[in-house]
């Protein structure tokens, strides 16, 4: 037996089969995990680092290690932490062929949440196409029974990719009620941002519904409005009739939130003439940046009727508290210059 072991050790890794190399690495990982019993946190950390370091023995195999690693990661007879290491080794291949076994792990309810979460986090680093990654993660979030930890890991990368169908994202957005807070808000915000990156009228309609669902001046509503602004071209074309009442109501009710109000001004401007009266009322808005944004929108629309109000703003700027410096805010002179430029444009357009 000893002779056989020595013979195996004397064979270069490159000359051994991928199955043999993976089996040896997994056996060592399993021993390191077993050795953690009764150890303190520092000792466990050291043993984990040694297990993580085994990945370098697999690197020369590249994609050839994937079938054996997939089998190890999905072998429910192995300790969960060993399966976690096998999943991490799969991810470190950085090969698109690892996408399918990682998807299987992600969707397997018998795997621990932390193993499934690692699988979700790993699918974006394999060099697979965005379309392939989107298909995997969007399929995962459709599972209503998906544990929260796994859902969070799956939905974060989708903020860049979007999903073809909005139902699951809308369900997640509403799942914590109209006022999500604390640890719930980031998850809701991620679902909303994903809707903002999605294509088609269905996801745009879902966002419009969610803007109306969340109460005014709440952070969740601000996130919904930000996501809707990412669909500005859509709402000004396909969804204009549905968008106009939602945007105009939000423009009124969100006036106290400068960052959100500026986005709404831009959306209202994209909706055309029907939004002009609401924009014209913003010449009296108490925030200089919102005022400047509205002035520029009115100038772009050549709305000469707003010229007297904007000229009055410039005439009284020296005593107008909106143009007084405030700590932590942009230089009000910049906003005033924007208003002056808008006024000049409107004078030329008369």
- Same-domain pairing of 314 and 239: no
Range 336-342 contact pairs with CB under 8 angstroms and sequence separation of 24 or more? 336/288, 336/292, 338/292, 338/293, 338/295, 338/296, 339/291, 339/292, 339/295, 339/310, 339/313, 339/314, 340/314, 341/296, 341/299, 342/292, 342/295, 342/296, 342/298, 342/299, 342/310
Residues 146 and 167 in one domain: no
pLDDT for residue 329: 85
Residue 224 lies in a domain: yes
For residue 10 the two structure tokens come to: 């004397």
User: Do 212 and 243 touch, CB atoms closer than 8 A?
Assistant: no
Q: Do 50 and 157 share a structural domain?
A: yes
Are both 97 and 121 inside the same structural domain? yes
User: Phi then psi for 162, rounded to 5 degrees?
Assistant: 75, 175
Co-location of 122 and 217 in the same domain: no
What burial letters (b/e) apply to 157-172, b meaning 16+ CB within 10 Å? Answer: bbbebbbeebebbbeb
- What local confidence, expressed as pLDDT, does residue 5 receive? 39
Q: 3-state DSSP call for residue 289?
A: helix
Residue 240: exposure state from Cβ atoms within 10 A (0-12, 13-18, ≥19)? middle
Q: How many CB atoms lie within 10 A of CB 3?
A: 7
Specify whether 119 is located in the same domain as 61. Answer: yes
Whether 142 is in a domain gets the answer: yes
User: What's the confidence (pLDDT) of residue 10?
Assistant: 47
pLDDT at 136: 97
> Would you call 202 exposed, middle or buried from its count of C-beta atoms within 10 A (0-12, 13-18, 19+)?
middle
Question: Does one domain contain both 262 and 292?
Answer: no
Answer yes or no: is 193 within a domain: yes
How is residue 237 written in tokens?
A: 């074309």
40 assigned to some structural domain: no
Same-domain status, 232 and 188: yes
The domain total for the chain is: 3
Q: Establish if 114 belongs to a structural domain.
A: yes
pLDDT tens for the 350 residues of the chain, in order: 344 434 444 445 455 899 999 999 999 999 999 999 999 999 999 999 999 999 999 999 999 999 999 999 999 999 999 999 999 999 999 999 999 999 999 999 999 999 999 999 999 999 999 999 999 999 999 999 999 999 999 999 999 999 999 999 999 999 999 999 889 999 999 999 999 999 999 999 999 999 999 999 999 999 999 999 999 988 888 888 999 999 999 999 999 999 999 999 999 999 999 999 999 999 999 999 999 999 999 999 999 999 999 999 999 999 999 999 888 888 999 999 999 999 999 999 88
Same domain, 155 and 214: no
Query: Does the residue 13 lie in any domain?
Result: no
- Asked whether residue 35 is domain-assigned, the answer is no
In 3D space, the residue among 126, 68, 118, 73 whose CA is nearest the CA of residue 98 turns out to be 126
Domain containing residue 211: 163-176+183-271
Domain assignment present for residue 296? The answer is yes
Which of 108, 129, 161 is where one domain is finished?
161
Residues 59 and 144 in one domain: yes
Residues 168, 257, single domain; the answer is: yes
Contact 273, 301 (CB under 8 A): yes
Instruction: Please check whether residues 148 and 235 belong to one and the same domain.
Output: no
């Amino acid at each position: 037996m000893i002779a056989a072991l020595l013979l195996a050790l004397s064979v270069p890794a490159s000359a051994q089969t991928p199955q043999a190399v993976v089996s040896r690495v997994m056996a060592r990982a399993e021993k390191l995990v077993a050795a953690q019993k009764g150890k303190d946190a520092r000792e466990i950390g050291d043993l984990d680092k040694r297990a993580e370091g085994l990945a370098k023995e697999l690197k020369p195999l590249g994609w050839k290690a994937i079938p054996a690693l997939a089998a190890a990661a999905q072998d429910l007879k192995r300790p969960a932490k060993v399966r976690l290491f096998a999943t991490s080794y799969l991810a470190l291949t950085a090969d698109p062929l690892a996408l399918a076994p990682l998807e299987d792990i992600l969707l397997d309810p018998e795997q621990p949440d932390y193993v499934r979460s690692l699988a979700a986090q790993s699918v974006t680093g394999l060099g697979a196409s965005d379309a392939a990654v989107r298909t995997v993660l969007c399929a995962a979030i459709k599972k209503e029974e998906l544990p929260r930890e796994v859902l969070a890991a799956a939905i974060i990368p989708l903020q860049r990719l979007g999903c073809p169908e909005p139902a699951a994202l809308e369900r997640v957005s509403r799942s914590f009620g109209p006022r999500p807070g604390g640890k719930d808000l980031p998850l809701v915000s991620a679902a909303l941002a994903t809707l903002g990156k999605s294509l088609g009228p269905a996801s745009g309609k879902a966002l419009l519904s969610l803007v109306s669902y969340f109460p005014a001046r709440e952070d969740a509503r601000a996130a919904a409005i930000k996501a809707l602004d990412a669909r500005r071209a859509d709402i000004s074309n396909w969804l204009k009739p549905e968008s106009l009442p939602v945007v105009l109501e939000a423009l009124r009710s969100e006036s106290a939130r400068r960052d959100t109000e500026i986005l709404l001004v831009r959306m209202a401007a994209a909706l055309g003439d029907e939004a002009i009266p609401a924009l014209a009322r913003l010449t009296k808005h108490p925030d200089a940046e919102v005022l400047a944004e509205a002035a520029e929108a009115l100038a772009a629309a050549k709305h000469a009727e707003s010229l007297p109000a904007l000229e009055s703003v410039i005439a009284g700027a020296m005593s107008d508290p909106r143009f007084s410096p405030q700590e932590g805010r942009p230089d009000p002179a910049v906003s005033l210059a924007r208003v002056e430029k808008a006024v000049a444009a409107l004078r030329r357009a008369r």
